[in-house]
Amino acid sequence: MNIAVASGKGGTGKTTVSVSLALYMSLGGSSIALLDCDVEEPNVNLFLRAPIAKTENFSVLIPSIDHVLCTGCGECERICAYNAIAIIKGEPLVLADMCHSCGGCFHVCPEKAIIEIPKKIGVIESGSAHGIDFAGGRLNISAHMSPPLIKDMKKLHHDADVRIIDCPPGTSCPVIESVRGCDFLVLVTEPTPFGLNDLRLAVNMAKALSLPFGVVINRAGIGNDDVEKYCKKNDIEILARISNIKRIAEEYSRGDCSSYILDNYSNEFDRIVNHIMEKTAADVSL
Amino acid sequence: MIKELVVISGKGGTGKTSIAAAFSFLAVNKVMADCDVDAADLHLVLNDTIIESGEFIGGKKALIDAESCNRCGLCVSYCRFNAIHDLYKVDDLSCEGCGVCAFFCPSKSIEMNDHISGRWYISKTPYGPLVRAKLGIAEGNSGKLVTILRQKAREIAYKKSHNLIIVDGSPGTGCPVIATITGATHVLIVTEPTVAGIHDLNRILELTRHFRVQTSVCVNKADINCEKKHEINELCRTNDVQMLMEIPYDIDVIHAQIAGKSVVEYSNGPAAAAITKLWEEVSDAVF
């Protein structure tokens, strides 16, 4: 089973919930994998602290031109929808950052002057801690596109009973890649106007993708009750509430909040898990 | 010359938008641009009225004509994004608009059509013009939309003889953030004294260095963890980046948001005072 943890707004507590949920579920004896798909700002392992046992490079394919064979016909430039090849003084120039690895230029070149070579855009780190298998992507700085790395990450740990996927913020392509194929979506929000606005976007995403979902309200009590009203009005299940208390903020700042949260909010996590089991009819020993 | 001040953070939820909103109140002769096209929030505290809007064509999507398609399967084998399924239907969520399938289709049964990926808006606020956008759910090409917003903001600033654009950025380090910071006058990074804040600050500093944009840092909720705050100071020193201001945790920031106002308009508390001082320092750096 795959559980994705997402939110429209950044900084609402996705990672806190992902890590705490993984730790909580691992207590039941099921095999749990935790995947950090927020590859632009990967923070899961700051909290899980799994020793990294393996670091693998991740590459995408980009064109490389054999300038001896190339006649400068310009077919590659014409087929490229991303302006990643420009013919300059009769010679193609590859703008690697723009390339989407579609292979069009490679296939179209009449002289077979284009080969595809790997370009490293990030790494995938893996390890385990507290009985949880961890894998996290890390996009290189100045690399533009995270979805291929996220897609590759999601091939990992398929044999785990439960995979928990920590998603990037937002609702656009990196998030879609992260939540694709998941069985349940946990949306983390905070009870503020920004939190509510971005929760609406995330709910629309869940509905557009026909994913079952529920809401976790983090920092409950900090703002107003508009998020509660919104959920009630739209018949959205509030799975859990984690209070806005200074102790959690302080422990979070050191990367330590999960043990406090599990000690004090185990009922809430129990509710999250029971709800997911009910909605997905999953058979996992917890 | 029009200056562009960008507020970003790497990590989400550090207070970018609250600070950008306060700057919108404090600065004169400026245009605001909310370049968080995924989850725009700045307009919620600027009380905006939309005066113009338009479609954003993010790219193209393939469409297969079922009648003329001879089901040869060439498109399926060419598609690198697994966007064409067995029944010769294109999955719009997976299609990247490369057009390779259409190019090679022997029966010319595939059309590449413009795809509306979102909308942009120009609005007026009591504090000046605001440009913002709404990327559709599950859409890509956010970098292109950011570029359009920055262009529109520059046009408005030019027309109105305003000399400043205040840009609220998005979290992360990827395509929309790169499109937001390239060529900007100054980037202000808003961080927080937490392990995640510091980790992400390191990455975003590397990004602004890579694109050679003048950068400074401020710490929001600075009193949550003194030790981590010192780590940030040290990090700024070793990176030779100016650390401008520490903003204390102040619940008025949330109360202002609920009141639909910026914190400097709403409150005289410690956060408002620090951000007012921060604005003076940032404007010195920008101008």
CATH code of B109's domain: 3.30.70.20
* Pair B100, B120: CB distance under 8 Å: no
Name the residue range of residue B110's domain: 58-116
Asked if B172 and B218 sit in the same domain, the reply is yes
CB burial of residue B84 (10 Å; 0-12, 13-18, 19+): buried
Asked if B179 and B272 sit in the same domain, the reply is yes
Taking an 8 Å cut-off on Cβ atoms, the answer to whether B174 and A249 are in contact is no
Contacts 24+ apart (CB under 8 A), B43-46: B43/B123, B43/B125, B43/B130, B43/B132, B44/A193, B44/A194, B44/A197, B44/B257, B44/B260, B45/A193, B45/B17, B45/B18, B45/B21, B45/B256, B45/B257, B45/B260, B45/B261, B45/B262, B46/B21, B46/B125, B46/B126, B46/B127, B46/B130, B46/B262
Nearest CB among B196, B206, B258 relative to A15 is that of B196
Q: Which residue of A has its CA nearest to B179?
A: A144
Q: Where are the alpha helices (DSSP H) in A56-184?
A: 75-79, 104-108, 147-153, 173-179
DSSP helix/strand/coil, B102: helix
Asked if B142 and B215 sit in the same domain, the reply is yes
Asked if B235 and B157 sit in the same domain, the reply is yes
The answer to whether residue B101 sits within a structural domain is yes
Structure token pair of residue B3: 């200056």
For the domain made up of A2-58+121-279, the CATH class stated in words is alpha beta
Asked if B41 and B69 sit in the same domain, the reply is no
Taking an 8 Å cut-off on Cβ atoms, the answer to whether B178 and A81 are in contact is no
Distances (CA, A) of A125 to A42, A74, A156: 11, 40, 11
Q: Please tell me the number of Cα atoms within 13 Å of A141 on its side-chain side.
A: 14
pLDDT value at position A283?
52
Q: Which of B142, B144, B101, B117 is nearest to B56 (CA)?
A: B117
pLDDT value at position A284?
54
Q: How many domains does chain B contain in total?
A: 2
Residue A282 has pLDDT above 70, yes or no: no
User: In angstroms, rounded to a whole number, what is the distance separating the alpha carbons of residues B173 and A238?
Assistant: 31
The answer to whether residue B68 sits within a structural domain is yes
The answer to whether residue B199 sits within a structural domain is yes
Looking at CA atoms only, how far is residue B56 from chain A in angstroms? 14
Last residue of a domain, one of B68, B84, B116: B116
Asked if B246 and B188 sit in the same domain, the reply is yes
Name the average pLDDT for chain B. Answer: 96
pLDDT value at position B87?
79
The answer to whether residue B132 sits within a structural domain is yes
Structure token pair of residue A86: 């420009």
Asked if CATH classification 3.30.70.580 holds for the domain at A67-112, the reply, yes or no, is no
pLDDT in tens, B121-140: 999 999 999 999 999 988 88
Asked if B228 and B93 sit in the same domain, the reply is no
φ/ψ of residue B247, rounded to 5: -105, 120
Residue B40 has pLDDT above 80, yes or no: yes
User: In angstroms, rounded to a whole number, what is the distance separating the alpha carbons of residues B11 and B221?
Assistant: 14
Distances (CA, A) of B122 to A138, B1, B42, B55: 36, 22, 13, 12
The answer to whether residue B52 sits within a structural domain is no
pLDDT above 90 as % of chain B:
95
pLDDT above 70 as % of chain B:
100
A205 interaction partners in chain B (CB closer than 8 Å): 137-138
Residue A6 has pLDDT above 70, yes or no: yes
Taking an 8 Å cut-off on Cβ atoms, the answer to whether A208 and B138 are in contact is yes
Q: Which of A1, A8, A2 is nearest to A188 (CA)?
A: A8
Structure token pair of residue A247: 């102790």
Q: What value does the mean pLDDT take over residues A248-263?
A: 94
Q: What value does the mean pLDDT take over residues B66-70?
A: 94
Give residues with Cβ within 8 angstroms of B44, minimum separation 6.
A193, A194, A197, B257, B260
Domain residues of chain A, as ranges?
2-58+121-279, 67-112
The answer to whether residue B34 sits within a structural domain is yes
Looking at CA atoms only, how far is residue A93 from chain B in angstroms? 19
Q: Which residue of B has its CA nearest to A44?
A: B196
**Which chain B residues in 140-179 lie under 8 Å from chain A, judged by CB atoms?**
140, 142-143, 170-175, 177-178
Q: What is the DSSP letter of B185?
A: S
Nearest CB among B104, B138, B225 relative to A176 is that of B138
pLDDT in tens, B186-231: 999 999 999 999 999 999 999 999 999 999 999 999 999 999 999 9
The answer to whether residue B121 sits within a structural domain is no
Identify the sign of the CA torsion A153, A136, B201, B274: positive
Concatenated DSSP letters of A173-230: HHHHHHHTT-SEEEEEE-SSHHHHHHHHHHHHHHHHTT--EEEEEEEETSS-SHHHHH
pLDDT value at position B86?
75
Q: At what angle do helices B16-26 and B270-286 cross, to 10 degrees?
A: 70
User: In angstroms, rounded to a whole number, what is the distance separating the alpha carbons of residues A100 and B98?
Assistant: 8
Asked if B233 and B280 sit in the same domain, the reply is yes
A173 contacts chain B (CB < 8 A): yes
CB burial of residue A246 (10 Å; 0-12, 13-18, 19+): exposed
Taking an 8 Å cut-off on Cβ atoms, the answer to whether B225 and A8 are in contact is no
Q: Where are the alpha helices (DSSP H) in chain B?
A: 16-26, 74-78, 100-104, 142-159, 175-181, 195-210, 226-239, 252-258, 263-266, 270-286
SS3 sequence of B216-230: EEEECCHHHCHHHHH
pLDDT in tens, B236-266: 999 999 999 999 999 999 999 999 999 999 9
B13 contacts chain A (CB < 8 A): yes
A262 contacts chain B (CB < 8 A): no
Asked if B110 and B188 sit in the same domain, the reply is no
The answer to whether residue B53 sits within a structural domain is no
Asked if B32 and B64 sit in the same domain, the reply is no
The type of residue at B198 is I
pLDDT above 70 as % of chain A:
98
Asked if B168 and B192 sit in the same domain, the reply is yes
CATH of the domain at B177: 3.40.50.300
Q: Which residue of B has its CA nearest to A60?
A: B80
Is residue A281 very low, low, confident or very high in pLDDT (cuts 50, 70, 90)?
Answer: confident
Name the average pLDDT for chain A. Answer: 95
B195 contacts chain A (CB < 8 A): yes
φ/ψ of residue B144, rounded to 5: -65, -40
Give residues with Cβ within 8 angstroms of B155, minimum separation 6.
none
Asked if B100 and B149 sit in the same domain, the reply is no
Taking an 8 Å cut-off on Cβ atoms, the answer to whether A11 and B138 are in contact is no
* Pair A111, A71: CB distance under 8 Å: yes
